[in-house]
Amino acid sequence: MRENIVFSDLAKELAAKAREIADKYVRPAAKKYDRLQEYNWEAARAVADAGLFRTFIPVEYGGHGAGILALACVTEELAKADSGFGVAFAVNALGSFPILVGGTEEQKQRWLPQIARGEKFVAFCLSEKFAGSDAGGLAVTAEEDGDDYVICGEKKWTTNGGVADIYSVFCVTDANSKSRRISAIVVEKGTPGFTVKKVEDKMGIRCVPVVETHFDNVRVPKSNLIGERPGMGFKHAMETLDLARPGVAAQAVGAAQGALDLAVVYANRRNQFGAPISSFQMVQQMLANMAMKTEAARWLVYSAAGAIDQGQKNKVSKQAAMAKCFATDVAMEVATDAVQVFGGYGFMEDYPIAKFFRDAKILQIYEGTNQIQRVVIARHMIREAMELEHLAAFIPHESQATYKNGAMKTASTGSAKP
């Protein structure tokens, strides 16, 4: 992205507040809440008091309107201290985005100010047991009944479930439609028939709950349907994920930086053969590669977030996918190498690096697996190749590619020799 990435004074201020909270409330308690698998309410209250939940909410709804780049900066600082709490913070943006991108003015006025103040937490209910990467294959239904919708079925892997007060739930409202099959509906905590069932026992990010959410004839008013009409849910989900993926990527950058920082400190303190291991060339190579990749991931994330803030709609989906895929792969690689730097101690839960390793893996999976991200990236590249047709004259080949409506077709042109 050639355009300048502008960090506003507000973004810098919010990131500094996040760093203070991370140092005071998040990092010191990370091991405790990981072991207990409990939510860090003290840190969450500090985040609310500091106005950080206002980061991604527009000014007209009580937020700072600071944008996605500021959200990435805040998320990175929190995830650097505890990747799990970085998730706990960022998932509120994920759950709020369907309302932001598709909600009516009344709906925005109703829910967003409470989210901005940190009075209400949010969750995003899309995945099901048989519908993960295939977001169009949902089975949870919402049937019209007078002035209400009645929701039935169950959702899988609802992050923040039980903690959240507001749930953006994606349901089938027209099973016979291909393009208008799914709608997004807000379900509030305490609604009869809406329950949290299984609480998952996770490998990592253990301080934020991931649960099954069950809907047993949950009746909600039609005014809870996100948007003016049903059938817009798939569009809202895809737009939401484009906005949220830089946040996942920022979690990854924070996690990678946190693991790298620990590895450097340990390498300077650990002596072998009469010298700190940081003086050994093989360890230096590992640390240098970890640092380069983390920094590259950071600026790819900033680029994607900046593109969203600048309204570059034609670039958002591809860049968000690139940032999410690259940064989360980097987080896993850096965490793995950090464990290696720690040696045997890295394998022990007494040391914090083991938690960074466990936390990193989910980043490659949720909000679109990295395999799916590569599919998204490649499809955009293939469509964009139409703009490069002038290069075809320099590629002698037996077949000539032509494009129509973004799809590539191949026509034989006979043999050709360079």
CA distances from 363 to 202, 334, 339, 367, 399 (A): 13, 13, 17, 8, 41
Per-residue pLDDT of 252-281, as tens digits, reads 999 999 999 999 999 999 999 999 999 999
Per-residue pLDDT of 195-249, as tens digits, reads 999 999 999 999 999 999 999 999 999 999 999 999 999 999 999 999 999 999 9
User: Could you give the CA distance from residue 381 to residue 331 in angstroms, rounded to a whole number?
Assistant: 25
416 domain residue, yes or no:
no
176 domain residue, yes or no:
yes
191 domain residue, yes or no:
yes
74, 107: one domain: yes
269, 322: one domain: yes
354, 373: one domain: no
225, 172: one domain: yes
User: Could you give the CA distance from residue 328 to residue 247 in angstroms, rounded to a whole number?
Assistant: 11
SS3 187: strand
253, 348: one domain: yes
244, 360: one domain: yes
- Grade residue 407 by pLDDT with cuts at 50, 70 and 90: low
139, 98: one domain: no
273, 314: one domain: yes
42, 74: one domain: yes
CB neighbours (10 Å) of residue 303?
Answer: 19
Q: Count up the domains in the chain and report the number.
A: 4
Q: Residue 404 belongs to what domain range?
A: 369-408
1 domain residue, yes or no:
no
CATH of the domain at 52: 1.10.540.10
131 domain residue, yes or no:
yes
356 domain residue, yes or no:
yes
* Active-site residue, 212 included: no
Q: DSSP for 358-379, please give it.
A: HHHHGGGTSSS-HHHHHHHHHH
Q: How far is CA 341 from the centre of its chain?
A: 28
360, 348: one domain: yes
107, 128: one domain: no
CB neighbours (10 Å) of residue 177?
Answer: 12
- Among 105, 239, 367, 398, the active-site one is 367
pTM as predicted: 0.92
135 domain residue, yes or no:
yes
